[in-house]
Chains A and B, each alone.
Chain A
Amino acid sequence: MNSRRLLFLLPLVLLAAAVAGFWAMLTGMQRGSFDPRGVPSALIGRPAPAFTLPALEGSGKPSFSSEDLRAAAREGPVLVNFFASWCVPCLVEHPHLMRLAAEGVPVFGINYRAGGRDDPGAVDWLRRHGDPYRRIGVDHGGRVAIDFGTYGVPETYLIDREGIIRWRMAGPITDQILADDLRPLLRRYR
């Protein structure tokens, strides 16, 4: 019977689909565009939350509030970057942030201090690796991080001229992410 013959092909077809799926997943994981533990941000398309943060003492940079962020965003898209000195992936993306800052993209830094954890090495870390931030705020207790829906460091948000969050990267900005996602978005919202 012909239709029964076709039934024998079904496992093969399923296998091919699984192979294609896994291949897409693995290449995505390799280039950083797919994170199996990734959670889509609930804040995309919504205005950045309201906050006021204290300054990072010793950094020589002023602190900022959501109003400052909004004012800066009126000139063009801004990045908000959650970082901590103990966070290794932050170091991975650091050169990219330095380059973006040198190109004139305003990067606002938020020193993430969840769960009452302190980050005494933050100033030293910036001195050693360079400071890409226009302004730096300290998020004691991770309150602002929760308002942003952040669940780890590093996380980077792109805010457009209207003050709307357009993009969120949970994890380090890699070469690929920069070239494929962030640069096109910076152009689009310019």
Chain B
Amino acid sequence: MDGVREGPDRPLAAVLKSTQRGGSTRRGGSTRRGGSTRRGGHACPPHPLQRARLPLVAALVTALALPPAHAVLDPREMLPDPAQEARARDIGRGLRCLVCQNQSIDDSNAELARDLRRIVRERIAAGDTDDEVVRFIVDRYGEFVLLRPPLNAMTIALWASPALLFGLGALSTWLYLRRRRPAQSAPAELSAEERARLKGLLTE
């Protein structure tokens, strides 16, 4: 989020640092930042390509090793107790932002997501268990708000569909193979009668 607006001639270390910070963010920016790293490398005279690659690789490795960045970067939003904050993030990752719908409230920058993150933290600070916090949100927004739908009568088709599709595939494969097998197998052995007739024909 921040660090995108960086000048082209920033020191390499700073560029590398900002790449680490933002490299794992899902939204935009990362390619631009990657580019600026390369540009920084090209400024060094002796072996531009070699020099450029090393920080890039280092940046990529560090970026991959870091946990994903979240929209909650405003320290005012966070709970003072790191254990409670971790719980809030865990809960937030499982709640759908109803504005963007395919993002969790932890990943979304929508205003509603921000309000929901705050409510999650307020409930935790008030002593609610994780289940109670989730129930509080589900009571207001319905089960659609859960990114991982619970198994119940409404969602049984959803949960069963992979198994059903696999079963259907297995069944049709089996039926197909069973029908093909007789055609592929060797022709039936000659009967004694046929053999006698063949012998007769050959000796004639």
B81-119 vs A, CB cutoff 8 Å, 1 = contact: the mask equals 000000000000000001101000000001110111011
CB of A118 to closest CB in B, whole Å: 11
Q: Is B139 an interface residue (CB 8 A)?
A: yes
**CB of B75 within 8 A of chain A?**
no
Decide yes or no: A40 and B115 within 8 Å by CB, A151-B98, A151-B99, A152-B99 being known contacts. no
The answer for the CA separation of A43 and B140 in the assembled complex, in Å, is: 7
| B side interface size, CB within 8 A | 17
Interface presence of A115 (CB below 8 A): yes
Chain A interface residue count, CB cutoff 8 Å, equals 20
- Majority-rule SS of A interface residues: loop
Contact check: which of B99, B111, B142 meets A149 at CB < 8 Å? B142
Does A128 sit at the interface, judged by CB under 8 A? no
Contacts A37-B101, A152-B99 given; does A42 touch B141 at CB 8 Å: yes
- Contacts across chains A and B counted by CB atoms under 8 Å: 52
How far in angstroms is the closest Cβ of chain B from A8?
A: 16
Flag if A115 contacts B142 (CB, 8 Å): no
Is A147 engaged at the interface, CB distance under 8 Å to the other chain?
Answer: yes
Asked whether any CB of chain A lies closer than 8 Å to the CB of B174, the reply is no
Report the minimum CB–CB distance from B183 to chain A (whole Å): 16
Cβ-closest chain B residue relative to A36: B101
Chain A residues lying within 8 Å of B118, measured Cβ to Cβ, are 141
Q: Please, which residues of chain B bring their CB within 8 A of the CB of A41?
A: 142
Q: Are B142 and A114 in contact (CB under 8 A)?
A: no
Q: List 20 A-B contacts (CB under 8 A).
A: A39-B141, A40-B142, A40-B144, A42-B139, A42-B140, A42-B141, A114-B115, A141-B115, A142-B111, A143-B115, A143-B119, A146-B112, A146-B140, A147-B140, A149-B140, A151-B98, A151-B99, A151-B141, A152-B99, A152-B112
